[in-house]
Amino acid sequence: MSRYIYSIIRCLPDPQTGEFVNYGAIAGDPVTGDWGIRQLSRTDRIRRFAPVAVLDVASGFMLRLETMIDAQRTPLESEILDEEWLRGLHHDHRNIVQLSPPAPILANSAQEALELIFGHMIIDPVPQPRQVSMNKDAITRELRDVYRRVDIDPSLVRKRPQVFVGAHVNYTVDFAIANGHAVQLTQAWSFRRSSLDEVSMQVKAWGYALDRLRGGEEARVIDTATRQISTIDAAVDLQVVVMPPETASQERCFDEAKEIFAGLGAQVHSLDDANAVGARAEMLVKGLESAG
């Protein structure tokens, strides 16, 4: 086992009262650079007393940390994620998002450290580990790994970029392969969820934005981390990776979504077939380089 350090990430709906709820955790080995981050599988309990704007702040913070962890795995990355870095996050974040003081934990990997933390210090209403594999995070983690395994410059993989269509429509997609021009958009959906109304509304909102794109309206992709803008055309490759349903009600929600996927000409894959998304992206990037 190795010495890892961790902090519990807390969300404070009203920092003045000091009341908080544990939102997630970050753990890493400063020596090897093995870092991981995880948030609650469900935020239903938090929503009872935290406004949507507060949850958006916490979610955005988790996304920024995830982006930093992804970035430090690439060559020539200047920022070192070590104990001082984590201590700095603890010191600097004293508002809606706060981190507990870094503490040591023995584990074989960052993921094992997070399992221990969630098993003993954070109450997650969804049983572990079975249900974790059923939410959307499991799909996006696999897609990140898929894109790392193919022959694509990591800087082309845009995580959680915003797609703007026309003057007023925008939607945050999970991944875009873009560098001045977007060649692929990829979205993950889990239909093994209890909040099916929420899934249905999200699919419809996503479908509405992309239907406007398919219709030929002017559109662009903006990387939320770098603010780089890429053009996008109506024929962009559209990929969807799903966690398929198990119950009858989940199946009905999935059937409705499949009609939207088909209408957009999206390629739909199960999680087991996610490698096909990376292979398609690699082919598109090589074709773009050849054309250039």
What is the percent of the chain where pLDDT is above 90?
50
Specify the pLDDT at position 292: 56
pTM: 0.57
Pairing of strands 162-165, 97-99: unpaired
**If you average pLDDT over residues 208-215, what whole number do you get?**
95
- Per-residue buried b or exposed e for 45-66, using 16+ beta carbons within 10 Å of the residue's own CB: ebeeebeeebbebbbebbbebb
Q: How do the domains of the chain map onto residue ranges? A: 2-126, 133-291
Specify the pLDDT at position 276: 96
Residue 75: burial class (beta carbons within 10 Å; 0-12, 13-18, 19+): exposed
What integer best gives the mean pLDDT of the chain?
85
Instruction: Say if CB 5 and CB 110 are below 8 A apart.
Output: no
Note the pLDDT tens digit of each residue in 194-211: 778 888 998 999 999 999
- Pick from 36-40, 41-45, 185-189: least confident: 41-45
Specify the pLDDT at position 133: 35
**If you average pLDDT over residues 124-130, what whole number do you get?**
48
Best CA proximity match to 278, nearest among 188, 206, 186: 186
Best CA proximity match to 4, nearest among 22, 30, 25: 30
**If you average pLDDT over residues 179-185, what whole number do you get?**
95
CA distances from 80 to 28, 33, 64, 67, 87 (A): 12, 8, 15, 13, 13
Architecture of domain 133-291: 3-Layer(aba) Sandwich (3.40)
